[in-house]
Amino acid sequence: DTAVSQTPKYLVTQMGNDKSIKCEQNLGHDTMYWYKQDSKKFLKIMFSYNNKELIINETVPNRFSPKSPDKAHLNLHINSLELGDSAVYFCASSLPGHNSPLHFGNGTRLTVT
Amino acid sequence: DAKTTQPNSMESNEEEPVHLPCNHSTISGTDYIHWYRQLPSQGPEYVIHGLTSNVNNRMASLAIAEDRKSSTLILHRATLRDAAVYYCILRDKNQAGTALIFGKGTTLSVSS
């Protein structure tokens, strides 16, 4: 069973469109995250959700909105897509506690044309 | 978050030990040292973490300097599958639930 799963794996869309990436974890974790990895392979935290409450928002444009319908899901909705949004987006989850490892999904490669 | 410094890249031969260094001279007393790695086309995966004492698990060993200003991730016998980007990250125990902040990491190449 996949612990953290993201869909779709690949997403190709045009500028100006609105798209969503879904993330589900079956680990019973309380905290979920979204990371962005750009073409230079640098991983940046975008959002963190703990028990459905946003606890981090790292200077991400408000076109990006995380939505958590329940503790096991954290979806990423992106409005008015721009070329610069092209990247690989990773979802992750963890238990509370500083020593709890993050479990990552395998990423969604978003290409905006 | 305190900063870590790692070499951009390292090379190894298969079945040889690999020592991946990490400097963290500004580490605080409440910072744990975490290591993750990212295999090609995959998400990062947890490797190991420690505070002061050396740590061993099925994947690797973590050797922490006595002053905690540096640490070394040890892969005892590198395999081709160990080729990945390795990230050394400090995580404050007083900030439970916060996200990991990734640096550039070390790209490890393994040759057969």
Q: What are the DSSP calls for chain B, one per residue?
A: ----B--SEEEEETTS-EEEEEE-TT--TTEEEEEEEE-TTS--EEEEEESSS-EE-SS-EEEE-TTSSEEEEEESS--GGG-EEEEEEEEETTSTTPPP-----EEEEEE-
Test A107 with B42 for CB contact under 8 angstroms. yes
B77, pLDDT greater than 80: yes
Whether A104 and chain B come into contact, CB under 8 Å, resolves to: yes
pLDDT value at residue B1: 54
Q: What is the pLDDT of residues A5-59, one digit of tens each?
A: 999 999 999 999 999 999 999 999 989 999 999 988 889 999 888 876 787 777 7
**Structure confidence at residue B12 as a pLDDT band (50, 70, 90):** very high
pLDDT value at residue A100: 86
> What is the mean pLDDT of the segment spanning B20-49?
95
Residues of A whose CB is below 8 A from B42: 104, 106-107
Q: What is the pLDDT of residues B81-94, one digit of tens each?
A: 999 999 999 988 77
CA–CA dist A48, A34 (Å, integer): 7
Provide CB contacts within 8 A for A84, sequence distance 6+: A112
**Structure confidence at residue B96 as a pLDDT band (50, 70, 90):** low
Q: What is the pLDDT of residues A73-97, one digit of tens each?
A: 999 999 999 999 999 999 999 988 7
DSSP state of A101: P
Test A104 with B43 for CB contact under 8 angstroms. yes
Provide CB contacts within 8 A for B41, sequence distance 6+: A106, A107
Q: How many residues does chain B have?
A: 112
Run of H or E residues at A58 = none
> What is the mean pLDDT of the segment spanning B12-38?
95
CA–CA dist B43, B51 (Å, integer): 25
Test A48 with B99 for CB contact under 8 angstroms. yes
Most confidently predicted of A14-18, B26-30, B101-105: A14-18
Q: 3-class DSSP state for residue A41?
A: coil
CA–CA dist A39, A71 (Å, integer): 31
3-class DSSP string for B32-55: EEEEEEECCCCCCEEEEEECCCCE
pLDDT value at residue B97: 63
> What is the mean pLDDT of the segment spanning B18-47?
95
Instruction: Name which of B38, B43, B99 is nearest A56 (Cβ-Cβ).
Output: B99
